[in-house]
Amino acid sequence: MAHRKKNRNVGVIGVGQTKHSSHREDVNQAEMIHEAVREALDDAGLKMDDIDCLVHGNMELFEMIHQPDLWHALGTGAYGKNTFRLTTGGTTGATLFCAGDNLVASGMYDVTMVIGFEKLQEGHTTGGITNMADPLWTRSIQTGALTGTCAYDLIQEFGEERANQVAMMYRIIMDQHAGLNPKAHRAFGLEWDQMDHLIKTSARLVGELKIIDMCSQSDGACAVIMATEEKAKELSDNPVWIRDHITVHREESFTMLGYDQATVPPLTHKVAAEALFKRNGISKPADYFDVFEMYDPSSWWGVDWLRAFFLLEGDEHLKLVEEKEIAIGGKIPVNPSGGVIASNPIGATALVRPAEACLQVRGDAGPHQIPTPVNHALASGFGGTMWTVLIMLEKELGW
């Protein structure tokens, strides 16, 4: 049978995050996680006793902790609870969010808290990511998550000048958003008049991928509490409803390069967006959604993926950036939080996306709240070898 509606509605009733930072030597892992857990409980007005089930996730080899949920029980509040642990790379946080939805919708648990974290400073991030490659082949060749291929493709398609301009505009918009988010790790205060200078002088990492384009490496944690419809209405004045979600992975090999336009397979983001929007009857996602929290590991990918997620054609995605429609106050604000380029505790990053989207729906995002009402929000996760998780959130039930 085709995909159908879930058996029970699930609402997000609490959100917590640490301040994301390049180093949190002042706390250990469990203590750092505890900050997010406490904030989520306070946000929901709940106590640990109210939580039935916990879901924990990150990537073991970044910090070199095997089964870290065992130690982290000191900070998660897991003692005496049903607990799960899921991990899917960069998508981990989004997978946790989907898992929380599944566990509550199943009727097995009424109130579930999902927790994503990473303390990247405690390991070597690029080395850790490189370790994901096959030990017998690409591991000695890969350079972490760094690749200039996306920049190359955009330059080939739209010309060097325009592609560079758009990528840097995207970058500056994200930096300005981050400047409004007190939890963001990095906000440099970039100005529009710095654009040409940055394009010319920012140090290159791989190909045209510059240091200013790339996401940060952060320490941080995020926790989200979800409940059944009945409980959510009882416990919260403003639950945010999880409408639907989809996960699309792909094979490990890099057979998806843009050099041969006739043979490039579809981007997972597009496959996910098409399937998710089709089954929910949405034909123009850029019009339908009021905000999009996207997992954007670099400004190049951020620009490129707008086309895939919003099912746009030609240079429509470039125009969204050039006309600043993705900025707070624009037609479809993208990452009012500042996104992943600003803050990236990897195991939490993809959970921060729906968490931030929920705050936007509630109108509780603070200085980076977008000024117009948010009724429909979209959040994405990215990880592995170009994997996608896409999540739809709604202010009202009855879609």
Partner 1 sequence: MSEKFGVKVEDIFNTMEERFRPEGAEGVDASFGYDISGRGRWKLTVKDGSMKIEQTDDLGGCAAVIQADADTFVGVNIGKVDGTAAFTSGKLSVDGDVGAFGTTAKLFKRFTPPKKELTVGEYVLDMFGTLEARFQTGAAEGLDITIGYDIGGEEGGQWTARIKDGKCTVTEELVPSPSLTMIMKAKDWVELMLGKVDAVNLLTTGRAKVEGDMNLATKLGELFAKYTAPGEEEEEEQELLVLKKIISVNQKFATGPVMGKYLNGLKEKKILANKCRECGRMQVPPREVCALCRIRCDEFVEVGPKGNVRLLDTAYYASPDPLTGETRETPYGLIYILLDGCSGQEVFAHFLRDDQLDRIEMGWNEKKGTIVRPVWAEERTGKVADIKYFEIDE
Partner 2 sequence: MGNRVAICAMAQVKNEPNVWYQRFQGMLLDCLEPILQQTGVTYDTDKGIRNIVTCSDDVFDARTISDNGMTDVVGAHFRGEEKTAQDGLNGLGYAMACILSGHDDVVLFMGHCKESQTESRNMSTNLAYDPFFCRPVGMDFLNVNAFQARAYMEKAGVTDEHLAEVVVRSRENAAMNPFARESGKVTKEDVLNSPFLADPIRELHAYPVTDWAVGMLLCCEERVKEFTDNPVWITGFGNCMDRYFVGDRDLTSNFSLKKACEKAYGMAGIKDPKSDVDVIELSDAYAHQLPMLAEGIGLAGEGQGGKWIESGGPAKANVNLSGGMLNGNPIMLGGVARAVEGYIQLRGEAGDRQVDGAKRALAHGTTGGACQHQTVLILEK
Chain residues that interact with partner 1, rule: CB under 8 A: 22, 25-26, 64, 124, 126-127, 130-131, 135-141, 143-144, 146-149, 152, 156, 186, 188-190, 194, 197-198, 201-207, 211-212, 250-257, 259-265
Q: Which does 156 bind (CB under 5 to 8 A by kind): partner 2, partner 1, none?
A: partner 1
Cα separation, 2 vs 278, in Å, equals: 12
Q: Tell me how far, at minimum, the Cβ of 142 lies from partner 2, in Å.
A: 11
Write each residue from 126 to 155 as x if it is in contact with partner 2 (CB under 8 A), else as -, in one continuous string: --xxxxxxxx--------------------
Q: Tell me how far, at minimum, the Cβ of 348 lies from partner 2, in Å.
A: 15
Are 184 and 338 within 8 A, CB to CB? yes
Q: Which stretch binds partner 2 (CB under 8 A): 18-26, 103-111, 169-177, 313-321?
A: 103-111
Examine residue 67 and tell whether it contacts partner 2 (CB under 8 A).
Answer: yes
- Write the DSSP assignment of 94-147 as a string of letters: HHHHHHHHHHHHTTS-SEEEEEEEEEGGGS-HHHHHHTTS-TTTGGGT--TT--
Which CB atom, from 52 or from 252, has the smaller least distance to partner 1?
A: 252
Q: Tell me how far, at minimum, the Cβ of 139 lies from partner 2, in Å.
A: 9
Cβ atoms < 10 Å from Cβ of 282: 18
Cα separation, 63 vs 49, in Å, equals: 30
Burial of 114 (0-12, 13-18, 19+ CB in 10 A): buried
Q: Which does 78 bind (CB under 5 to 8 A by kind): partner 2, partner 1, none?
A: partner 2
- Considering only 22, 23, 79, 316, the residue that binds partner 2 (CB under 8 A) is 79
Q: Which SS3 state, helix, strand or coil, does residue 3 take?
A: coil
| Pairing between β-strand 387-394 and β-strand 376-383 as defined by DSSP bridges | antiparallel
Which CB atom, from 274 or from 315, has the smaller least distance to partner 2?
A: 274
Question: How crowded is the C-beta side of 247, counted as CA atoms within 13 Å?
Answer: 17
Which CB atom, from 3 or from 197, has the smaller least distance to partner 2?
A: 3
Cα separation, 63 vs 375, in Å, equals: 38
Q: Which does 268 bind (CB under 5 to 8 A by kind): partner 2, partner 1, none?
A: partner 2
Cα separation, 163 vs 169, in Å, equals: 10
Q: Which does 260 bind (CB under 5 to 8 A by kind): partner 1, partner 2, none?
A: partner 1
Q: Which does 309 bind (CB under 5 to 8 A by kind): partner 2, partner 1, none?
A: none
Which CB atom, from 106 or from 201, has the smaller least distance to partner 1?
A: 201
Are 225 and 12 within 8 A, CB to CB? yes
Q: Tell me how far, at minimum, the Cβ of 315 lies from partner 2, in Å.
A: 27
Q: How far is CA 164 from the centre of its chain?
A: 24
Are 160 and 309 within 8 A, CB to CB? no
Are 357 and 291 within 8 A, CB to CB? yes
Which CB atom, from 58 or from 299, has the smaller least distance to partner 2?
A: 58
Q: Tell me how far, at minimum, the Cβ of 153 lies from partner 2, in Å.
A: 20
User: Nearest-CA neighbor of 189 among 199, 204, 203, 174?
Assistant: 174
Q: Which does 203 bind (CB under 5 to 8 A by kind): partner 2, partner 1, none?
A: partner 1
Q: Which does 259 bind (CB under 5 to 8 A by kind): partner 2, partner 1, none?
A: partner 1
